[in-house]
A = this chain, B = another copy of it.
Amino acid sequence: MDSMMMGAMSKNMESMTDDMAMMDMSVLQACMDACSACEQACTVCSTQLMDCAPACMNCADMCNTMMRSMMRMQGMTPATMMSMLNACIAMCQLCMDECMKHADHSEVCKMCAQACQACMDACMAMKDMMMASA
């Protein structure tokens, strides 16, 4: 996400509850970017029509929903955020496992698995930050 837009979004969030408003914006931005990259990698990977494709489609949709929800914090609570992050981590883990089976002979699967891993890591960093500030 563009840094100026991020600044504006951050200002937008000032009216929120303390729990959410005190977030480290760089962790949030990294997570939204990782979700976006993962959605894109999964979308491309699914067009190969290999047997990882259904997991890729599920993961693409979940990552997009996760990203958008982080942009609409006004409609989230810490508890719903935690629950969404857990679902996103679970989908990324499954998609990564499926794509790793083909990583030796598909460059796209290998990159998709890397994008899933990065998205999982970013979601876990979000969870850590939220638990530290709770």
User: Which positions in A face B, CB cutoff 8 Å?
Assistant: 1-2, 4-5, 8-9, 11-12, 32, 36-37, 40-41, 43-44, 46-62, 64-65, 67-69, 71-77, 79-80, 83-84, 86-87, 89-91, 93-95, 98, 107-108, 111, 115
Q: How many copies does the complex hold?
A: 4
Contact of A37 with B2 in the complex, beta carbons under 8 Å = yes
Contact of B84 with A62 in the complex, beta carbons under 8 Å = yes
Q: List 23 A-B contacts (CB under 8 A).
A: A1-B40, A2-B111, A5-B41, A8-B108, A8-B111, A9-B44, A32-B40, A36-B40, A43-B71, A43-B72, A47-B71, A47-B72, A47-B75, A54-B74, A55-B76, A57-B75, A58-B72, A58-B80, A61-B68, A62-B65, A62-B69, A62-B84, A87-B87
Determine the residue in chain B with the shortest Cβ distance to A32: B40
With a cutoff of 8 Å between Cβ atoms, the chain B residues found around residue A1 in the complex are: 37, 40
Given the interface pairs A40-B5, A107-B8, the reply to whether A83 lies near B86 with Cβ below 8 Å is: yes
Contact partner of A90 (CB less than 8 A), chosen from B40, B62, B79, B111, is: B79
